[in-house]
Structure 1
Amino acid sequence: MSVSSEHSNDAHNMQSRLRNLYQAHKPEIQIQLHRRRSLYSTFDKIEGLAVLVAPTDTSFDEIEIEFVGTTRTYVERLTTAAAISGKSEAFHQFLKLKQPRLDEHLPEDRVLRAGQKYELPFVFVVPQHLLPRVCQHKIAGPALRDIHLQLPPSFGDKDVELKSESPDDMVPEMASIRYGVFARISKNKEEGDEIVKATIASKARRVRVIPATDEQPPLIVGDDSEYTLRKERTIRKGVLQGKLGTLVVEASQPAPMRLQAHRTEEQQPSMATVFLRFDPVDAKSPPPRLGSMASKLKVCTYFASTARSSFPTKQASLSDLSQGMHSEQLNLSSRCVANVEWTKHDGNVDALRRRDSGCSDVTTGVPEPSDSYKGKSFYTAKVLVPLSLPTNKAFVPTFHTCLVSRIYQLKLELGLHTAGIGGTIDLKVPIQISFHSNGDSSPRSGSIDSSMEMIIDDEIGDYFHSRTNHVPDDALTGRSRIGSQAPVDDAPPGYSFFASQSGRQTVPVF
């Protein structure tokens, strides 16, 4: 072994001994939850004790217990311009509830006695909405701001040790939302002309939160939308032969798919309805032969390193260097619809008047006529498509925040078999996933991942540990800032721009 290697080992051993010596003199903090629950939802109480034991007499100035919700994102872009290449990151503390009146459980002289146990009770209630100051950036309209102020679910909050055992949550590592109870013992110190707060000891316990969600109104699908609710296809007798007519395939947004709140509950499937219309060229042309109807679910996660002013879109994620998108497609079902029953209608002008909307008439189930319709007889049919979530994946409700969104798209593929000519017609329909809590939040396995629901007793990590060595200015208390260039008078949240390639930016968590 070389002399330099021996010196390196000695230095490493010395650092380890000093670290262990420091840890041995730190007060120990345990966060105990009274009613151990795998998941918390809206209006649920999070109750427990923060138990403090100091190995030696320890002087302190403040002890805090908080319930905190945070979001972290990053976007990596490779461009030809070196100035904007690299990683841009964002951090947002959207929730901070502080336990009051802790002083009555602490010694008046602000000294934790060696070996004495101090039990500090805390009670937090999972809120229904966030405070308006959480979302004060430029935004398209008040409706979107209201959505941003709804509590988001725990997202991508999976412990590394459980990752191999848990169903895939389909969350990219670029986005994460976490909740936890945080306890900290601190001491004020002078640094020059400033009084800074130094952390003596800290502890966090992560909890999983899935808030109850309200069903949102159906999306308004415009001509430039990535959704397709209606398609027309010319049906021919064969290759290079004459037309039989025009097939219209149409669907509307189905009812939300609900995540179950209890393991014993059976999953209630949603139902999509596909309306078919065939406008023949003459009375002798029969409706086309149908094959199968397949349903697929596209899971889309949008994330950004700057606050978004509108709903995320695929196009925006491709053109905006501060946004990114991750998607996966899941097969739901496939069923034969060859025996679907067609109904023939006479060409009544009043009943067939064209409507402004391109959607089905909910009272008659009759799609709007095709462009080639001549006012003669036509055929209609209806296909019901049951929708159930796969049990080998973990889902969260549809949500939008200032930085992260999770949406779902339903793809319906109709197979055709006419005169030996195959092919498919596909529709892309928006669909929501919702969660309704009954007060005992223990979601069904396969809807919300049961192993992910474990409460993790965790040392302070990236999400609950302050990355600064001093207390932020008073104007920033309880607010989020990203990067050292964030203006002090900006209302929360703040968001970083592109991070420099030389290193990470430091961000104050509290």
Structure 2
Amino acid sequence: MSYSPLLSDGGGLTMPSKLRSLVLAQQPDIKISLASRKKVLSTLDMIKGTVTITAPEDTAFDNVDIEFLGTSRTFVERITTTAAVSGRSEAFHQFLKLTQPGLQQHYPADRVLKAGQAYDFPFVFVVPQQLLPRVCQHKIHNPAIRDAHLQLPPTFGDREQAKACDIPDDMTPEMASVRYGIFARLSRSKMQDEEMCRSSLASKARRLRIVPALDEAPPLAVGGEESEYIMRKDKTIRKGVLKGKLGTLVMEAAQPQSLHLRSYSNPECRTTTMATVMLRFDPTDENAAPPRLGSLSSKLKVITFFASTARQQFPTKQSSILDLSQGIHTEQLNLSSRCVANVEWTKCDPAKSLPDTIERRDSTCSTTQLTVGETPAPSENYKGRTYYSARLLVPITLPTNKTFAPTFHSCLISRVYQLKLELSTGGGLGTSLDLKIPVQVSAGSNMNTTSDALLLRRESAAAAAGGESGEDTEVEADDISDFFHSRMIRAPAEGFVGRSRIGSQAPVGNEGEEAPPPGYSPFAVGSGERERHRSVGVFHPRQLSA
């Protein structure tokens, strides 16, 4: 008689499902509770909560681990004419791992969970400002790439967490994701192959949404034939069909200020910035009038780069096409379209427009192409005569039906944005000019981030001093207001001259010499620690068959 694994026991359950239910029923139940109800966490935010473990029967254990993890995962589909090269390559990167210490004091004395009794294990983490240097140890082309890779990336492509929190689509492809969460595990040690290893008795994870504070980076230095951005466009304007040239229209723009994400709790809060477009018209003769403008439309291009190997430089569209380990996903959003026919041209005389003095401008407003508000350089057809100029202010507002991740670059994933501005002219022979300029999306911290960090610092100081409430570390409101109060700087009185500790009252070193000021030594890693860092696997690329 043959045995079939799908035989029923007469009660409607098959034998495998019954065995599975019996096995799962014996596992301890783990519940992760958070003290805060914030949907989005930012830099230096406190993640405080409790892990509750309840066992259905007496369960012996050895360790309870509570960790705050951050991981990124990518895969790239490679479709080529060669079957051996085609297939999917994957990569996994655990860039963040914080472990809750001091859980042993909450263990039962015999390390046995009693049946039906709930055991609480508190935890507290703080979202770090940046990652440790050992997270990014691959080869790079310049130090700026390392600095970008050590920035904390935002939650990216986590559809299940976004659906649970009712967060709009973040326009991330399935090939890339960045996830954060609290991971709790109950384990027991046992001997296997003459080595001590841990066996998991139960585990539970709770995902978090992290949007770290990312400041605006310096403007990009764009240019060259292979550049993905077009900051200037020249176009010849004609008088009509089979007629001569009217002049040359120049359209130019600089990178605008970043779109700063200010509020995560209020989805109706609009994120805006302003782009400045400068126009110049060089007529062929003095009697030629500038063209009548039509409309100006703005579009936002959302670009996601992903790779199955660590990148050594910032990604580009050209590199993603040539490298089989990289991929690119784009999505375009229509922002606005407005009529600019009422914009007035300003007639400029080159003999009168030369400034009498040289004015120094702020370096933060400068780019390699154009300073905001500056008239573009003449076209090739300019003959030194009168020209016309105009300025267009284009408000850029992000739609609220999408979620926008800040601009970031990690070892495997990048998110950048491109602003497309298209200008059309009126008349019978209407023409159009378009620019593609970079734009950044930055993010600020939550309003209560400072208070959370101060509270955690107070608790740590109180614990170190053996106190309970931490009253000695509290800061009075009067002291805070006095700290921010303006002060007048003036020469000290004669009675205070010569009494500074930096001078005659400074600490004395060897042989009567003044002791040097405190110094800073580089962080030294011991041999054992260095070997442990070297053994940590960061990237795990895998090659799957087609």
Following the alignment from structure 2 to structure 1, what is the Cα–Cα distance between the partners of residues 442 and 367? 27
Question: Corresponding residue for 1:272?
Answer: 275
Compute the displacement of 1:267 (Å).
2.2
1:65 to 1:476, Cα distance in 2 relative to 1, 3 A: farther
SS in 2 for 1:159: helix
Q: 2:530, 2:91 → 1: CA distance?
A: 17
Asked if 2 retains the 8 angstrom alpha-carbon contact of 1:134 and 1:492, the reply is: no
Q: Residue type matched to 1:176 in 2? A: S
- Structure 1 residues 334 and 238: alpha-carbon distance in aligned structure 2, compared to 1, 3 A threshold: same
Q: Does structure 2 retain, via aligned residues, the 8 Å contact 1:298–1:411?
A: yes
How big is the shift at 1:196? Answer: 2.0
Residue 494 of structure 1 pairs with residue 504 of structure 2: no
CA–CA distance in structure 1, aligned partners of residues 311 and 117 of structure 2:
50
Give the Cα separation in 1 of the matches to 2:302 and 2:367.
28
CA displacement at 1:288 relative to structure 2:
1.2
Aligned partners of 2:296 and 2:423 also within 8 Å: yes
Contact 2:43 2:127 in 1 (8 A): yes
Structure 1 or 2: more helix by fraction? 2
How big is each residue's C-alpha offset from its partner over 1:298-327, in whole Å with a ceiling of 9 and x where there is no partner?
001111110011111111111111111111
Query: In the alignment, which residue of structure 2 is the partner of 1:461?
Result: none
- 1:117 is displaced (CA, Å) by 1.5
Name the residue aligned to 1:301: 304
Deviation for aligned residue 1:194 = 2.3
8 Å CA contact 2:41, 2:446 repeated in 1: no
Deviation, 1:189, is: 2.0
Q: 2:398 and 2:267 mapped to 1: Cα distance?
A: 16
Residue 292 of structure 2 corresponds to residue 289 of structure 1: yes
Per-residue deviation, 1:347: 2.2
Counterpart amino acid of 1:500? L
* Residue 478 of structure 2: aligned partner: none
Q: CA deviation at 1:162?
A: 3.0
Any conservation in 1 of the 2:61–2:111 contact (CA below 8 Å)?
yes
Residues 163 and 147 of structure 1: CA distance in aligned 2, closer, same or farther (over 3 Å): same
When Rg is computed on C-alpha atoms for both structures, the one with the higher figure is: 2
**Structure 1 match to 2:417:** 408
Counting only pairs closer than 5 Å after superposition, residues 463-482 of structure 1 correspond to structure 2 as none
Match of 1:331 among 305, 330, 334: 334
- What corresponds to 1:459 in structure 2? none
Q: 1:162 to 1:5 in 2, by over 3 A?
A: farther
- 1:372 Cα deviation from its structure 2 partner: 1.3
Output the amino acid matched with 2:300: L
Structure 2 counterpart of 1:451: none
User: How do 1:12-411 and structure 2 match up within 5 A?
Assistant: 13-159=14-160, 162=163, 166-223=167-224, 224-261=226-263, 262-263=265-266, 266-348=269-351, 351=354, 359-362=369-372, 365-411=374-420
* Cα gap change, 1:198 to 1:264, in 2 (>3 Å): closer
Query: SS in structure 2 opposite 1:82?
Result: coil
**C-alpha contact 2:222 2:368 (8 A) present in aligned 1:** no
Deviation, 1:160, is 8.0
Q: Deviations over 1:47-68 (max 9, x none)?
A: 0101111111111121100000
Q: Go from structure 1 to structure 2 and tell me whether the alpha carbon gap of 1:253 and 1:218 turns closer, same or farther (over 3 Å shift).
A: same
Change (3 A) 1:207 1:339: same
C-alpha deviation, 1:159, in angstroms: 1.4
* Whole-angstrom distance in 2 between the partners of 1:184 and 1:361: 56
Contact 2:233 2:435 in 1 (8 A): yes
Q: For residues 79 and 32 of structure 1, what CA distance do their matches in structure 2 show?
A: 48
Instruction: Please tell me whether the aligned partners of residues 254 and 367 of structure 2 are also in contact (alpha carbons under 8 angstroms).
Output: no
Give the match's secondary structure for 2:56: coil
CA contact (8 A) 2:301 2:332 kept: yes
**Partners of 1:50 and 1:183 within 8 A in 2:** yes
Alpha carbons 1:305, 1:495 under 8 Å: kept: no
List per-residue Cα deviations over 1:426-475 (Å, max 9, x = no partner).
Answer: 0000001111123358xxxxxxxxxxxxxxxxxxxxxxxxxxxxxxxx99
Query: Aligned-pair distance for 1:249?
Result: 0.3
Q: 1:17 aligns to what SS in structure 2?
A: helix
Does the C-alpha gap of structure 1 residues 258 and 365 become closer, same or farther in structure 2, counting only changes over 3 Å? Answer: same
Write the distance in 1 (CA, Å) between the matches of 2:126 and 2:432.
Answer: 50
Distance 1:100 1:306, change over 3 A: same
Q: Which runs of 5+ in 1 are unaligned?
A: 442-473, 480-488, 503-510
- The 4+ residue runs of structure 1 with deviation greater than 6 A are 3-6, 474-479
What's the C-alpha RMSD, in Å, of the aligned pairs?
2.6
8 Å CA contact retained: 2:153, 2:212:
yes
Aligned equivalents of 2:62 and 2:120: distance in 1? 17
Give the Cα–Cα distance (whole angstroms) in 1 for the partners of residues 91 and 77 of structure 2: 12
Residue 425 of structure 1 pairs with residue 433 of structure 2: yes
The answer as to whether partners of 1:190 and 1:196 remain within 8 angstroms in 2 is: yes
CA separation of 1:264 and 1:15: change in aligned 2, threshold 3 A: closer
* Deviations 1:62-105, CA, capped at 9 Å, x for gaps: 11000000101111111112222111101000000000010000
Cα distance change on mapping 1:255 and 1:15 into 2, 3 Å: same
Gaps of 5+ in 2: 356-365, 450-527
Instruction: Give the secondary-structure state (helix, strand or coil) at the position aligned to 2:14.
Output: helix
Q: Is the 8 A contact 1:359 1:368 kept in 2?
A: no
1:113-165 CA-to-partner distances (Å, cap 9, x unmatched) read: 22222110000000010000011101111111111111111111121893896
Aligned equivalents of 2:130, 2:331: Cα separation in 1: 29
Alpha-carbon separation, structure 2, partners of 1:164 and 1:80: 43
Shift in alpha-carbon separation, 1:398–1:160, aligned structure 2, 3 A: closer
> 1 or 2 for the larger relative contact order (CA 8 Å, sep ≥6)?
1
**Aligned partners of 1:361 and 1:367 also within 8 Å:** no
Q: Does the aligned pair in 2 maintain the 1:275–1:360 contact within 8 Å? A: no
Contact 1:342 1:381 in 2 (8 A): yes
Q: Which moved more, 1:188-197 or 1:132-141?
A: 188-197
1:438 pairs with one of 446, 449, 455: 446
- Verify the 8 A CA contact 1:186 1:200 in the aligned structure 2: yes
Determine the C-alpha separation between the residues in 2 that align with 1:435 and 1:157: 19
CA distance in 1, matches of 2:242, 2:211: 56
Aligned with 1:8 (options 6, 9, 26): 6
